[in-house]
Amino acid sequence: MARRHPIDPDELFETANRLVAEGKDVTATTLLDALGGGSLRTIYKYLEQWKDKAPIVPIKKAVEIPDRVQASFAMAWRMATDEAAIEIEAVKQKAAEDVTAANNRFQEALNAAERLEREAQEAAETIDGLKSQMVTLTEEVTSLSATGARYKATAEQLEQQVKAQGQELERLHKERAEEREEHAQQITKLEEGAAQSTKRYQQEIDSLRAVLDEARGKITEVEKQRDEAKTSISDSQKQLEKAEAAAKADRAERDVAIKEAAELKGLSGSLKEQNAALMAKLNSDEKSEKKK
């Protein structure tokens, strides 16, 4: 509710004259309604000014009265005036007291009306502020509704993306499970192959050890024969040479056996390194699978 502009005298005089032309009473209440609001104190102030400036209605001239009648009337009037003077004085005093009391009540009522007007104006301004706040809040609610709609659409998109990612993760888990199964099968095959290779190599090593033991036995026998040959060198130089040749052949055979044993030992070491590398790879794959 907007504040009404202050009432000026010309506006009130024009309104009062219009009410008179319409045959209506000119009072503070009728002026307040006709003006559409305003301050009662201002209306009363300008109303008194209007009354002072209002045109005087001419009084029609009375019919001429004879002198005798006028004298009688004047005597009666004086008698009535003397008799009523005392009562009139008392009535005037009482009226003055009533007027004073009425003026006091009127002033109190006027002050109360002004206070109510101020409170009404403050209430109107508060209502205007609340209306402005309501408009602002309505705009904010509209904006928040639009933002909520955008957030909802974004949430739906994210939900679809999460669903697609979940399906992709499920597929990847399945692939990883298949890969782990395939790796496990490959590892089992490698372990079986390594076990078979180790068993075969162990058999070969055992066979070579047997050959080596046999060669050592032969060497021992040859050395024994050499010792016997030394003690009986005088028996036969030919037998000694023959024995030396046999010993030489045995030594050659022993060297071959030792060389073969060394090669088998190197092969065994290589197999151990391969087995160790294989176990390390298996352990690394298992750790990688656990981390995933």
Contacts of 38 (CB under 8 A, 6+ apart): 4, 6, 7, 32
Tell me, yes or no, whether 138 lies in a domain: yes
Of the three residues 149, 166, 192, the one that is the final residue of a domain is 149
Residues 138, 14 share a domain:
yes
**Same domain, yes or no: 113 and 214:** no
Kindly state whether residues 108 and 229 are assigned to the same domain.
no
d(CA 40, CA 33): 11
Do residues 138 and 188 share a domain?
no
Distance CA 110, CA 279 (A): 109
Higher pLDDT, 131 or 20: 20
Are 104 and 208 found together in one domain? no
pLDDT value at position 1? 46
Domain assignment of residue 46, yes or no = yes
1 in any annotated domain: no
Residue 129 lies in a domain: yes
Domain annotation covers residue 272: yes
Question: Sorting pLDDT into bands at 50, 70 and 90, what band is 59?
Answer: very low
Residue type, 44: Y
**Same domain as 281, residue 220:** yes
Say whether both 235 and 103 belong to one domain: no
At residue 207, the pLDDT reads 82
Structurally, the chain folds into a number of domains equal to 2
| 207-220 residue pLDDT tens | 868 876 886 888 68
pLDDT tens, residue by residue, 172-181: 778 878 888 8
Answer yes or no: do 140 and 247 share one domain: no
In this prediction, residue 11 has a pLDDT band, given cuts at 50, 70 and 90, of: very high
Residues 28 and 127 grouped into a single domain: yes
pTM (2 d.p.): 0.29
Whether the pLDDT of residue 154 is over 90: the answer is no
Asked if 143 and 232 sit in the same domain, the reply is no
Asked if residue 281 has pLDDT above 60, the reply is yes
- Give mean pLDDT, residues 254-275: 81
Mean pLDDT of the chain: 77
Domain assignment present for residue 81? The answer is: no
Among 146-150, 170-174, 274-278, the range scoring the smallest mean pLDDT is: 146-150
Looking at the structure, do residues 189 and 139 belong to the same domain, yes or no?
no
State the residue range of the domain holding 98.
9-55+87-149
* Residues 13 and 145 both lie in one domain: yes
The residue from 131, 149, 167 where one domain ends is 149
158 in any annotated domain: no
pLDDT band at 94 (very low <50, low <70, confident <90, very high): low
Residue 218 lies in a domain: yes
Residue 272 pLDDT > 90, yes or no? no
Full DSSP string of the chain: -PPPPPP-HHHHHHHHHHHHHTT----HHHHHHHHTS--HHHHHHHHHHHHHHSPPPPPPPPPPPPHHHHHHHHHHHHHHHHHHHHHHHHHHHHHHHHHHHHHHHHHHHHHHHHHHHHHHHHHHHHHHHHHHHHHHHHHHHHHHHHHHHHHHHHHHHHHHHHHHHHHHHHHHHHHHHHHHHHHHHHHHHHHHHHHHHHHHHHHHHHHHHHHHHHHHHHHHHHHHHHHHHHHTTTT-HHHHHHHHHHHHHHHHHHHHHHHHHHHHHHHHHHHHHHHHHHHHHHHHHHHHHHH-
Which of 96, 130, 149 marks a domain boundary? 149
pLDDT of residue 89: 67
